Amino acid sequence: MKISVASGKGGTGKTTFAVNFSLFLNNIKKNKIVLVDLDVEEPDCHIFLRAINSNRKKCFREIPKVNEKCNLCGKCAEICEFNAIAVANTEVIIFPDLCHSCYACIELCPQEAFNIENIEMGEIHWGIITSNNFYFVEGKLKIGEVMAVPMIKQTKNFSIEKFGENSYFIFDSPPGTSCPVIEATKDSDFVVLVTESTPFGLYDLKLAVETMQKLRKKFGVVINKAGIGNQEVYHYCKDEKIPILGEIPYSRGIAELYSQGRDIISIPFIKESFRKIEEKIINLV
Amino acid sequence: MKELVIISGKGGTGKTSFAASFAYLAGENAVLADYDVDASDLHILLEPKIKKTYQFYGGKKANIIREKCIGCGKCQEICRFDAVKNVDDKFEINKIDCEGCGYCYRICPVDAIKFEDNLSGKWYISKTRRNSTLVFAKLGIAEENSGKLVSKIKEVAHNLANENNKDLLISDGAPGIGCPVIASLSNANYVLIVTEPSLSGFHDLKRILELVKHFGYSAGCIINKYDINENITKEIEIFSHNNELEIIGKIPYSDSFPKSLVLKQTVVEYDKLDIGKTVERCWSKLQTKL
């Protein structure tokens, strides 16, 4: 089972849900639970898990590197759609930040004047969280590195290979509706969209819903900070026939636990709410 | 003309609520820009009338003409993005997965692939209910090139401010530490980071400040909901002191934010006494930095 947790915008409680839901599942499931933090720009799950991931793996992406065979013909610059190559009078200049690793320049160069160079884009960290069967993987992009998608892809593929298809994966996705969130949700069996019942929440939820519809994903909504705001999110979900999986109430107490990086599944009504959410997801998949 | 860019590293810290309040307080004197092209929210509070709509073409996408395709599979072989699918012995390109590198159309032996400009979003010039100009965008679902769209919005907002002799541009920055936020920051005169005293908020503050320093911008910060965890607030204050990050203000945890939001008001309109006054003081202080 693969479940992605996503939201149109940041700060809706995606990470809170992903972490606590994983902890909850760990208590009731026999499968391996693997929480994968795919918010590679700002992975935060580790803070709530007090995770000390002893295992680390550097991640690389491939970019072209010019060799001595180059005769400055300029074909590479002409074909690069991302403006990642410029040919000056005496040398070829490569801009790694713009390169998408499509290989067109490398393979179409008439002189075969390119080698492949690996550049480091970040690290995958992983480890066991409890003595139980609960594992945690995190992808972390290097500061100043702009390509989130390859980092997300490698982190996701690594997790699936490492822990096997039979594990129960929770993918904490990056915010937004563009390529990174597509990469983080496209292989999942179900997507949980976390929102809050305010005009910002509703606006961004609509974008997230459109994205999931475009990807033809099964999805449902969890309303966080329920009780603030208004009823519009509820009306929207009803009108669009989007299942509301459950709620996490608005409370200063939860905000304080969150600020300390503590979990909230010890609160009885949260546990009960998660039990129902899990049940609904199973019925919908 | 000076530009103030408001960022947060992490989402949900209240960045847009502050940007909207400052925009309200600045009134006609400022031009406004929203660089969060993925989930632009500033317009929800400022309720602008759209004056002009523009289409944004970012990059290109490949498309296979089914009638011409001979099913050789070369395109699928070379596509590094798994965007080419075999459908009944001919090939199709999944638009969502296509990154627009153009490799396939260059090597197709029968010229069966079209490679065309891709409409990836729209952007708007609008007038807010405070009579200021707001430039914002809506990126199409599952589109990329958000960094380019941010740069476009920035260019337009700068031009509008200069043409209309406005001396201030207030910008709601993109989230994260990647390409869109780097584009948001370019040429900023002052960067305001909105943070909150939680372990994750502090963690993200450190990461975003590293980026801000990397590019050499001067920055200050607002600690929102400072009383939710006074220990971490203290740590943030010490950290700020040691890293030349000036504390512009501390705002207590308050229902005024969600309540004002529901009424589609800025917090300075909704709560004129308590929180509103504190936000106004932050604004006065910020103006001295620009």
pLDDT per position as a tens digit, A178-222: 889 999 999 999 999 999 999 989 999 999 999 999 999 999 999
Q: Is B271 on the interface with A (CB under 8 A)?
A: no
ipTM of the complex: 0.88
Q: Is A211 on the interface with B (CB under 8 A)?
A: yes
Instruction: State whether A259 and B196 contact (CB < 8 Å).
Output: yes
> How confident is the model at residue B145, as a pLDDT?
66
Q: Confidence band (pLDDT; 50, 70, 90) for B38?
A: confident
Q: Confidence band (pLDDT; 50, 70, 90) for B213?
A: very high
Q: Enter the pTM of the model.
A: 0.91
Tokens encoding B2 = 């000076």
Q: Which residue of A has its CA nearest to B107?
A: A108
- Chain A residues with CB under 8 Å of B199 CB are 47-48, 259-261
Instruction: State whether A102 and B99 contact (CB < 8 Å).
Output: yes
Per-residue pLDDT tens for B66-104? 999 999 999 999 999 999 999 999 999 999 899 999 999
Higher pLDDT, residue B176 or A263: A263
Q: Is A116 on the interface with B (CB under 8 A)?
A: no
Q: Closest Cα of chain A to B16: distance in Å? A: 10
Instruction: State whether B142 and A101 contact (CB < 8 Å).
Output: no
Residues 136-165 of B with CB under 8 A from A: 139, 141-144, 146-147
- Chain B residues with CB under 8 Å of A259 CB are 196-199, 201, 225, 228-229, 232
Among the residue ranges A86-90, A130-134, B114-118, the one predicted with the least confidence is A130-134
The secondary structure element, H or E, covering residue B91 is strand B90-93
Per-residue pLDDT tens for A101-112? 999 999 999 999
Residue B59, pLDDT > 90, answer: no
Beta-carbon neighbour count of residue A216 at 10 Å? Answer: 7
How far apart are the C-alpha atoms of B136 and A161, rounded to whole Å?
Answer: 42
Q: How much is the average pLDDT of A137-156? A: 92
Distances (CA, A) of A273 to A29, A202, A224, A259: 17, 21, 12, 21
How far apart are the C-alpha atoms of B161 and B133, rounded to whole Å?
Answer: 9
Tokens encoding A254 = 């939860």
> How confident is the model at residue A131, as a pLDDT?
63
> How confident is the model at residue A145, as a pLDDT?
85
> How confident is the model at residue B25, as a pLDDT?
97
Residue B266, pLDDT > 90, answer: yes
Least CB–CB distance from A258: residue in B38, B182, B198: B198
Residues 6+ apart with CB under 8 A from B3: B158, B168, B169, B170, B171, B187, B188, B189, B190
Q: Report yes or no: A215 and A186 within 8 Å, Cβ to Cβ.
A: yes
* Mean of all residue pLDDT scores within chain A: 93
Q: Is B285 on the interface with A (CB under 8 A)?
A: no
How far apart are the C-alpha atoms of A106 and A104, rounded to whole Å?
Answer: 6
> How confident is the model at residue B283, as a pLDDT?
98
- Chain A residues with CB under 8 Å of B102 CB are 79, 81, 104
Query: In percent, how much of chain B has pLDDT > 90?
Result: 85
Tokens encoding B175 = 């989230």
Higher pLDDT, residue A264 or A132: A264
Instruction: State whether A259 and B139 contact (CB < 8 Å).
Output: no
Per-residue pLDDT tens for A16-71? 999 999 999 999 998 899 999 999 988 999 988 887 777 999 999 999 999 999 99
How far apart are the C-alpha atoms of A37 and A148, rounded to whole Å?
Answer: 13
Size of interface A-B (CB pairs under 8 A): 168
Q: Which residue of B has its CA nearest to A150?
A: B81
Q: B52: exposed, middle or buried (C-beta count within 10 Å: 0-12, 13-18, 19+)?
A: exposed
Tokens encoding A260 = 């300390």
The secondary structure element, H or E, covering residue B207 is helix B199-214
Residue B180, pLDDT > 90, answer: no
Single out the residue of A223, A176, A10 nearest to residue B194, CA to CA. A10
How far apart are the C-alpha atoms of A269 and A203, rounded to whole Å?
Answer: 28
* Mean of all residue pLDDT scores within chain B: 94
Distances (CA, A) of B240 to B162, B206, B210, B237: 33, 10, 12, 5
